[in-house]
Chains A and B, each alone.
Chain A
């Protein structure tokens, strides 16, 4: 079974600083995809970044980047130049590379960006 673990229930960071959110996962499969989703207080889940397991290069989207360590089954999210609008719940998610849309989520990390 696939599981996703986020060990940091809450984190805070000062505006303009950098913060890293941790995520580990467990699977015996080799073809899968990893995601970070953001859920602001308004509740709409938004995709932040995705990573294909077969790609060694870490994904980057503007201020958001990941550190994907496949052997260690680790998938951390780095937010640079944190902004107040980054305050949200962040969920790490996993899906197998097939037609199976059964996405597994971690418990989430509540990030607060302080002015």
Chain B
């Protein structure tokens, strides 16, 4: 099976712009979670989508949003970019049926730089 893929791998934006990142989960996986990784804050959970619905949400401002399509592919959007949004954004997929048996598989990440 193909792994989790994320596009683009690298992105450079300026403050105030918006950005959309994409994640394609492993075939058959219905849950997609997004994480932000920075040197200062480490890995932080953004949100999780399951069957096109946001199931869980982390403690991030409303500028961060996401969605999931019927084929389980997911996008996350960050509006009005700030310098502090520079980070590696990781996507993880899992079957989504039950956390007791699920394992999250991570993609390679999208490196976002905000100038």
Could you list which residues of chain A lie within 8 angstroms of chain B, going by C-beta atoms? 33, 37, 42-47, 50, 52, 91, 95-108
Is B70 interfacial (CB 8 A cutoff)? Answer: no
Q: Give the docked Cα–Cα distance between A105 and B33 (Å).
A: 14
B57 closest partner in A (C-beta): A102
Count residues of chain B with CB under 8 A from any CB of chain A.
Answer: 28
| Residue B17 interfacial (CB < 8 Å) | no
**Best-buried of A43, A98, A100, A101 by chain B (most CB within 10 Å):** A101
Contact A44 B56, CB 8 Å, known A98-B99, A103-B45, A105-B43? no
- Given the contacts A101-B56, A102-B48, A103-B45, A43 and B103 also touching, CB distance less than 8 Å: no
- Residues in B with CB closer than 8 Å to A97 are 99-100
Interface-facing stretch out of B61-69, B78-86, B106-114? B106-114
